[in-house]
Protein backbone atom coordinates (compact mmCIF):
# COMPACT_ATOMS: atom_id res chain seq x y z
CA UNK A 1 0.00 0.00 0.00
CA UNK A 2 1.54 3.34 -0.99
CA UNK A 3 2.57 5.72 1.78
CA UNK A 4 0.08 8.33 0.57
CA UNK A 5 -2.73 5.97 1.70
CA UNK A 6 -1.70 6.66 5.31
CA UNK A 7 -2.63 10.33 4.98
CA UNK A 8 -4.81 12.20 5.69
CA UNK A 9 -4.95 10.58 9.11
CA UNK A 10 -7.62 11.04 11.75
CA UNK A 11 -11.08 10.11 12.92
CA UNK A 12 -14.32 11.54 11.58
CA UNK A 13 -17.58 11.74 13.50
CA UNK A 14 -20.18 11.07 10.81
CA UNK A 15 -23.98 11.26 11.13
CA UNK A 16 -25.07 8.28 9.05
CA UNK A 17 -28.42 8.60 7.25
CA UNK A 18 -30.95 5.79 6.91
CA UNK A 19 -30.51 3.66 3.79
CA UNK A 20 -26.84 3.12 2.97
CA UNK A 21 -24.75 0.55 4.80
CA UNK A 22 -21.90 1.61 7.05
CA UNK A 23 -19.50 0.15 4.48
CA UNK A 24 -21.01 2.42 1.81
CA UNK A 25 -20.33 5.43 4.07
CA UNK A 26 -16.74 4.28 4.60
CA UNK A 27 -16.29 3.85 0.85
CA UNK A 28 -17.63 7.34 0.14
CA UNK A 29 -15.16 8.86 2.60
CA UNK A 30 -12.34 6.75 1.15
CA UNK A 31 -13.10 8.18 -2.29
CA UNK A 32 -12.83 11.66 -0.79
CA UNK A 33 -9.49 11.12 0.97
CA UNK A 34 -7.79 8.43 -1.11
CA UNK A 35 -6.56 6.96 2.18
CA UNK A 36 -6.92 3.66 3.96
CA UNK A 37 -10.30 3.86 5.71
CA UNK A 38 -12.16 1.83 8.35
CA UNK A 39 -14.78 2.14 11.05
CA UNK A 40 -15.21 1.50 14.77
CA UNK A 41 -18.58 -0.26 14.76
CA UNK A 42 -21.27 -0.52 12.11
CA UNK A 43 -24.88 0.59 12.04
CA UNK A 44 -27.63 -1.34 10.23
CA UNK A 45 -28.76 0.24 6.95
CA UNK A 46 -32.10 1.37 8.44
CA UNK A 47 -30.35 2.97 11.44
CA UNK A 48 -29.01 6.51 11.66
CA UNK A 49 -26.55 8.34 13.85
CA UNK A 50 -22.97 8.42 14.98
CA UNK A 51 -20.44 6.42 13.00
CA UNK A 52 -16.73 6.70 13.79
CA UNK A 53 -14.74 6.54 10.57
CA UNK A 54 -10.97 6.14 10.73
CA UNK A 55 -8.63 7.39 8.03
CA UNK A 56 -5.01 6.69 7.18
CA UNK A 57 -2.67 5.94 10.09
CA UNK A 58 -5.57 6.38 12.53
CA UNK A 59 -7.02 3.02 11.46
CA UNK A 60 -4.53 1.37 13.84
CA UNK A 61 -6.42 2.74 16.88
CA UNK A 62 -9.70 1.05 15.94
CA UNK A 63 -9.41 -1.44 18.81
CA UNK A 64 -9.35 1.47 21.26
CA UNK A 65 -12.75 2.63 19.98
CA UNK A 66 -14.84 -0.45 19.24
CA UNK A 67 -15.34 -1.35 22.91
CA UNK A 68 -16.80 2.00 23.98
CA UNK A 69 -20.29 2.18 25.47
CA UNK A 70 -22.99 3.42 23.10
CA UNK A 71 -26.23 5.37 23.51
CA UNK A 72 -29.26 4.84 21.27
CA UNK A 73 -32.77 6.18 20.85
CA UNK A 74 -35.20 3.67 19.38
CA UNK A 75 -38.92 3.56 18.72
CA UNK A 76 -40.27 0.05 19.29
CA UNK A 77 -43.47 -1.14 17.64
CA UNK A 78 -45.06 -3.19 20.44
CA UNK A 79 -47.64 -4.77 18.12
CA UNK A 80 -45.39 -6.35 15.48
CA UNK A 81 -42.49 -8.77 15.48
CA UNK A 82 -40.45 -9.04 12.27
CA UNK A 83 -37.96 -11.55 10.92
CA UNK A 84 -35.13 -9.05 11.35
CA UNK A 85 -36.29 -7.10 14.40
CA UNK A 86 -36.53 -3.95 12.30
CA UNK A 87 -38.81 -2.44 9.62
CA UNK A 88 -36.94 -4.18 6.79
CA UNK A 89 -38.05 -7.67 7.83
CA UNK A 90 -41.20 -9.63 7.17
CA UNK A 91 -43.94 -9.64 9.79
CA UNK A 92 -43.81 -12.88 11.76
CA UNK A 93 -46.30 -12.00 14.50
CA UNK A 94 -48.99 -9.42 15.16
CA UNK A 95 -49.95 -9.14 18.80
CA UNK A 96 -51.71 -7.08 21.42
CA UNK A 97 -49.23 -4.67 23.03
CA UNK A 98 -48.44 -5.14 26.72
CA UNK A 99 -50.15 -2.93 29.26
CA UNK A 100 -48.09 -0.08 30.68
CA UNK A 101 -47.61 -2.09 33.86
CA UNK A 102 -46.48 -5.19 31.97
CA UNK A 103 -44.18 -3.06 29.84
CA UNK A 104 -42.52 -1.57 32.92
CA UNK A 105 -42.01 -5.08 34.28
CA UNK A 106 -40.40 -6.18 31.01
CA UNK A 107 -38.16 -3.11 30.95
CA UNK A 108 -36.99 -3.72 34.51
CA UNK A 109 -35.81 -7.17 33.45
CA UNK A 110 -33.73 -5.61 30.68
CA UNK A 111 -31.70 -3.29 32.90
CA UNK A 112 -28.27 -4.23 34.20
CA UNK A 113 -26.51 -7.42 33.07
CA UNK A 114 -28.67 -9.24 30.50
CA UNK A 115 -28.31 -12.13 28.10
CA UNK A 116 -30.31 -12.25 24.87
CA UNK A 117 -30.12 -14.23 21.60
CA UNK A 118 -28.29 -12.49 18.78
CA UNK A 119 -30.72 -11.54 15.97
CA UNK A 120 -30.76 -13.91 13.01
CA UNK A 121 -30.26 -10.94 10.66
CA UNK A 122 -26.79 -10.15 12.03
CA UNK A 123 -23.21 -10.46 10.82
CA UNK A 124 -22.29 -13.02 13.49
CA UNK A 125 -20.91 -16.21 11.98
CA UNK A 126 -22.83 -19.44 12.61
CA UNK A 127 -21.09 -22.56 11.34
CA UNK A 128 -18.62 -20.39 9.44
CA UNK A 129 -21.24 -18.35 7.59
CA UNK A 130 -22.79 -14.96 8.29
CA UNK A 131 -26.14 -15.37 10.03
CA UNK A 132 -27.91 -12.85 7.78
CA UNK A 133 -26.92 -14.84 4.69
CA UNK A 134 -28.44 -17.98 6.21
CA UNK A 135 -31.57 -16.02 7.11
CA UNK A 136 -31.93 -14.71 3.56
CA UNK A 137 -31.94 -18.31 2.30
CA UNK A 138 -34.55 -19.28 4.86
CA UNK A 139 -32.16 -21.45 6.83
CA UNK A 140 -33.20 -21.58 10.49
CA UNK A 141 -30.37 -21.91 12.99
CA UNK A 142 -30.07 -21.73 16.76
CA UNK A 143 -28.56 -18.31 17.34
CA UNK A 144 -25.97 -17.87 20.10
CA UNK A 145 -26.76 -15.69 23.08
CA UNK A 146 -24.74 -12.62 24.08
CA UNK A 147 -24.25 -11.09 27.49
CA UNK A 148 -24.50 -7.28 27.59
CA UNK A 149 -24.70 -4.46 30.09
CA UNK A 150 -27.63 -2.05 29.91
CA UNK A 151 -26.43 0.89 32.01
CA UNK A 152 -29.56 2.98 31.47
CA UNK A 153 -32.94 2.31 29.89
CA UNK A 154 -35.47 5.13 30.01
CA UNK A 155 -38.89 5.65 28.43
CA UNK A 156 -39.07 9.01 26.65
CA UNK A 157 -42.41 8.46 24.86
CA UNK A 158 -45.25 5.94 25.03
CA UNK A 159 -48.39 5.66 22.88
CA UNK A 160 -49.77 2.31 23.97
CA UNK A 161 -48.77 0.67 20.69
CA UNK A 162 -45.18 1.93 20.64
CA UNK A 163 -42.53 3.04 23.09
CA UNK A 164 -39.50 5.24 22.49
CA UNK A 165 -36.47 4.33 24.58
CA UNK A 166 -33.17 5.99 25.42
CA UNK A 167 -30.54 3.31 26.13
CA UNK A 168 -26.91 3.41 27.26
CA UNK A 169 -25.41 -0.01 26.61
CA UNK A 170 -22.13 -1.87 26.38
CA UNK A 171 -20.52 -2.43 23.01
CA UNK A 172 -22.01 -5.30 21.04
CA UNK A 173 -25.53 -4.94 22.44
CA UNK A 174 -28.23 -5.58 19.84
CA UNK A 175 -31.06 -3.09 20.29
CA UNK A 176 -33.18 -5.23 17.97
CA UNK A 177 -32.85 -8.08 20.48
CA UNK A 178 -34.13 -5.77 23.23
CA UNK A 179 -37.08 -4.79 21.04
CA UNK A 180 -37.81 -8.47 20.43
CA UNK A 181 -37.67 -9.17 24.17
CA UNK A 182 -40.46 -6.58 24.52
CA UNK A 183 -42.50 -8.52 21.96
CA UNK A 184 -41.96 -6.01 19.18
CA UNK A 185 -39.51 -4.66 16.62
CA UNK A 186 -37.59 -1.44 16.01
CA UNK A 187 -39.36 1.15 13.88
CA UNK A 188 -36.34 3.43 14.05
CA UNK A 189 -32.89 3.38 15.63
CA UNK A 190 -30.48 6.27 16.12
CA UNK A 191 -27.05 6.10 17.76
CA UNK A 192 -26.51 9.34 19.61
CA UNK A 193 -23.24 8.66 21.46
CA UNK A 194 -20.14 6.50 21.28
CA UNK A 195 -18.13 6.82 24.47
CA UNK A 196 -17.54 10.55 25.04
CA UNK A 197 -18.49 11.48 21.47
CA UNK A 198 -21.90 12.82 20.44
CA UNK A 199 -23.75 12.86 17.15
CA UNK A 200 -24.35 16.56 17.77
CA UNK A 201 -20.67 17.07 16.89
CA UNK A 202 -20.84 14.95 13.74
CA UNK A 203 -20.82 15.97 10.09
CA UNK A 204 -23.05 14.57 7.36
CA UNK A 205 -21.34 12.20 4.96
CA UNK A 206 -21.91 14.66 2.10
CA UNK A 207 -20.50 17.45 4.26
CA UNK A 208 -17.33 15.53 5.10
CA UNK A 209 -13.99 17.07 4.19
CA UNK A 210 -10.50 15.94 5.19
CA UNK A 211 -10.44 18.91 7.56
CA UNK A 212 -13.25 17.17 9.48
CA UNK A 213 -10.79 14.54 10.73
CA UNK A 214 -9.86 14.69 14.41
CA UNK A 215 -6.26 13.76 15.33
CA UNK A 216 -6.09 10.24 16.73
CA UNK A 217 -4.18 11.34 19.82
CA UNK A 218 -6.79 13.97 20.65
CA UNK A 219 -9.51 11.32 20.37
CA UNK A 220 -7.58 8.93 22.64
CA UNK A 221 -6.94 11.73 25.16
CA UNK A 222 -10.67 12.42 25.30
CA UNK A 223 -11.43 8.75 25.90
CA UNK A 224 -8.83 8.57 28.66
CA UNK A 225 -10.19 11.74 30.22
CA UNK A 226 -13.73 10.39 30.19
CA UNK A 227 -12.51 7.19 31.83
CA UNK A 228 -10.80 9.11 34.60
CA UNK A 229 -13.95 11.14 35.25
CA UNK A 230 -16.02 7.96 35.57
CA UNK A 231 -13.50 6.45 37.93
CA UNK A 232 -13.31 9.54 40.13
Q: Of 174, 223, 216, 224, whose CA–CA distance to 55 is shortest?
A: 216
Give the number of other Cβ atoms within 10 Å of residue 67's Cβ: 12
- 105 contact partners, CB below 8 Å, separation of at least 6: none
DSSP string, 15-50: EEPSSS-HHHHHHHHHHHH-S-EEESS---TT-EEE
Catalytic residues, by residue number, are 44
Q: Which candidate, 78, 151, 81, 69, places its Cα nearest to that of 110?
A: 151
Amino acid sequence: MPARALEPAGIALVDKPAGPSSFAIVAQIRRCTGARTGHAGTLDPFATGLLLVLSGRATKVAQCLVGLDKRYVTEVDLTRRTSTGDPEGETVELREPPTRGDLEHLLEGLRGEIELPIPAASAVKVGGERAYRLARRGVEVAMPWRRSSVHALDVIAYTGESVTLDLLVSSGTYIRAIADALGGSCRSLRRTEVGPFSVSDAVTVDGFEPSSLLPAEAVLDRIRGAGQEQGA
